[in-house]
A and B are shown apart, each in its own frame.
Chain A
C-alpha cells in the first residue's frame, strides 16, 4: 500500500547547527505534504506545508524541499535551538504520517 516514511528515527545536532530531516513517500500522485512538530505531552503542531507544484518553500528558520522525481522531501531547520527538540513528522495530507524523527539539540 501507499506509505510515507522517515529515514532516521533519531537525529542529534549541536545548538546553532542546521538540521535536516528527511522523508520519503511512495505515491507519485501525492500533491500536498505537511511537516508537524510534536513536543512531549502535546499534540502535533503545524510547521510548514508544500504542494506538488512547488520544489521549495520557506518559513521562519525552516525550509521544505520537495523532489518529486525521487519522491523525497526534507525539512531544514536553520540555526537549531534547544526549543526545536521534538519529534518531527511528515504527512501526506492528513491521511498518512511518517513514523517521526526525534530531534535532540545539544547545548
Chain B
C-alpha cells in the first residue's frame, strides 16, 4: 500500500513558535501537497512541490513555507505560529500523471496554537 505518513497526529504549540510539520511518502511520487482543512471550508491548498527543491504556492500560502530536500519528504513550516493557524493539516502525494486515483493523503495533523 502507498503510504503517506505525517509525523504527528496532534500538536499543541504556543503563539510565536516555529512549527515543523513533516510528511513522508514511500512510493517515489514526484508530487507532494500540503492542505489545511477547516469546518465549512473544505481543503485549501497551501503549497505543493513537483520535484526536489521545487515549490509552488497554492491558494493560501501566507504565513507558511515549505521544504523539499529529498523526494520522499515534504515539510510545512509555520515561521511564527498564530492562533488562526489552528487547523487540521493534510499532506498528499501523487505521481506526475496527476489523476485523482493516484493521490494518496496522510491521516492529518491536528495543530492547536494557543
Contacts and interface: CB of A to CB of B under 8 A. Distances in A.
A21 interface: no
Interface string A40-79: 0111111001000000000000000000000000000000
A89 B101 CA distance: 14
Given A43-B90, A49-B100, A97 B42 contact: yes
Contact of B100 (A42, A46, A99, A100): A46
Interface residues of B, number: 24
B94 to A, nearest CB: 8
B111 interface: no
Contact of B42 (A32, A46, A100): A100
A43 B100 CA distance: 14
A12 to B, nearest CB: 18
Contacts, number: 53
B67 interface: no
Interface string A19-47: 00000000000001010100001111110
B41 A94 contact: no
Contact of B99 (A9, A49, A89, A97): A49
Contacts of B103: 34, 46, 94
Contacts of A41: 107
A93 B31 CA distance: 14
Nearest to B88: A43
B92 A9 contact: no
Nearest to A93: B98
Interface of A: 4, 9, 32, 34, 36, 41-46, 49, 89, 91, 93-100
9 contacts: A42-B108, A43-B90, A43-B104, A44-B90, A46-B101, A89-B43, A94-B92, A95-B59, A99-B41
Given A49-B101, A96-B59, A99-B41, 17 more contacts: A32-B100, A34-B100, A42-B107, A43-B4, A43-B107, A43-B108, A44-B90, A46-B100, A46-B103, A91-B100, A94-B94, A95-B58, A95-B59, A97-B35, A98-B42, A99-B40, A100-B42
